[in-house]
Structure 1
Amino acid sequence: MNRVACVVRSHSRDKWSWYVLPWFVVGMAFVINWAIGALAAEGDVFQTGGIASIFVYMFVSGCISVTQSFPFLISLSVRRRDYFLGTTIMASAVCLGSAILLYALTEIEKATGSWGIGMRFFTIPWIDSIPDVGRIWMYLIVLLLMFFLGFFISCWHRRFGRIGLWLLSIGIFAAVTLALVLTTRYERWDDLGRFLGGFSPLGLISWLAAPTALLFAGSYLLLRKATV
């Protein structure tokens, strides 16, 4: 446990990458969108989609975290298991804090009349009717999914190298293409739409916990055999 705590402390020292940069990116996207909306001044409510920046950043953070910290911490005699647990704790804490902050900013956005210019930056109408805790959960699970997707890719690259990463990319592309072709060939898009439409927004997003768990487990297995 002491080594896990050491990993968490090591990550927490990099305040720029974990705490400052993600919200700097969000802040810059917000300022740009607000300026454009203020200059347009049409009076209509408009959706920016800028909230996606925080989710993209978590994906990138997962991709670079292994490269930045894994060799250094392993050189300090930290076990791979301890590194994985410490990184997971750090990422989970950051994602939870970000989810709570996203919820708070959404409420501020509503209270200010969409920042006075009708700009929906944080509000997502699709999930707006979900209770408060449910929205925090949805933000959290998507943030974790994006982080562990990036983390899994980074672990795969460290385990199998550049060629392995190319093969993984080709395999994913081929699988997605085949799924799209078969769905179109057998005219199953309507069936898929009805199936997904049977879930509430909260239920649909909650299903993302399954691929998140698979990425979590896969990352650990890859990291156990990864080269330093």
Structure 2
Amino acid sequence: MKLHFFHLPYLSDGPAIEQLLITFILMMHMCFLGFTVSSLLQRFGRNGMYVLSIAALLFFTIIGFLCTYFQWWGNILGWLSYHSVFYIMMWTIPVIVIYMIASYCLPRRATL
């Protein structure tokens, strides 16, 4: 019958160790992203969060506009569908390391 409790077709492909690593890397990414954002809040306060929010909004708006203007969406989706989730998650490991360094360095200079 092929009944699965949590079986997402693209995410559940591959061996069990890859599925565990995908989940682990995703959780590490979210964990250290939260640490980094909370460290920014502690270090720079409310104004720093306003600046971060506006900068992120502008950055992603410009990226979305450029992708639409130059018609890159097909190429991006083609690249994502060509590679496995495990391969794409391996590209997030350097980002996680940057989050780790930022979440370590920012609170050291913050006033508590």
TM-score, normalised via structure 1 length: 0.46
Instruction: Look up the SS of the partner of 1:125 in the other structure.
Output: coil
Letter paired with 2:35:
F
Matched residue, 2:45: 161
Encode CA deviations 1:154-197: one digit per residue, 9 max, x unaligned.
00000000001110011001100000001101111112122223
Q: Are the aligned partners of 2:32 and 2:99 in contact in 1 as well (CA < 8 Å)?
A: yes
Letter paired with 1:212:
I
d(CA) in 1 for partners of 2:17, 2:92: 17
Matched residue, 1:66: none
Matched residue, 1:178: 62
Matched residue, 1:133: 17
1:189 to 73, 76, 101: 73
Please state how far the C-alpha of 1:123 moved relative to its aligned partner.
2.4
d(CA) in 2 for partners of 1:123, 1:210: 28
Relative CO higher for 1 or 2, CA cutoff 8 Å, sep ≥ 6? Answer: 2
The list of structure 1 runs, each at least 4 consecutive aligned residues, that deviate by more than 3 angstroms after superposition, is none
Q: Are the aligned partners of 2:22 and 2:85 in contact in 1 as well (CA < 8 Å)?
A: no
Instruction: Look up the SS of the partner of 1:123 in the other structure.
Output: coil
Letter paired with 2:53:
S
Q: What is the correspondence of 1:6-17 to structure 2 with a 5 Å cutoff?
A: none
1:206 matched to 2:105? The reply is no
Matched residue, 1:224: 108
d(CA) in 2 for partners of 1:177, 1:153: 20
Encode CA deviations 1:112-141: one digit per residue, 9 max, x unaligned.
x44xxxxx4x32221222111111100000
**Is the helix fraction higher in 1 or 2?**
1
d(CA) in 2 for partners of 1:190, 1:129: 23
Flag structure 2 segments of 5+ consecutive residues without an equivalent: none
Q: Percent identity?
A: 29
TM-score, normalised via structure 2 length: 0.89
d(CA) in 2 for partners of 1:146, 1:189: 25
d(CA) in 1 for partners of 2:73, 2:51: 29
Look at both structures and tell me which one has the larger radius of gyration over its CA atoms: 1
Equivalenced residue count is: 111
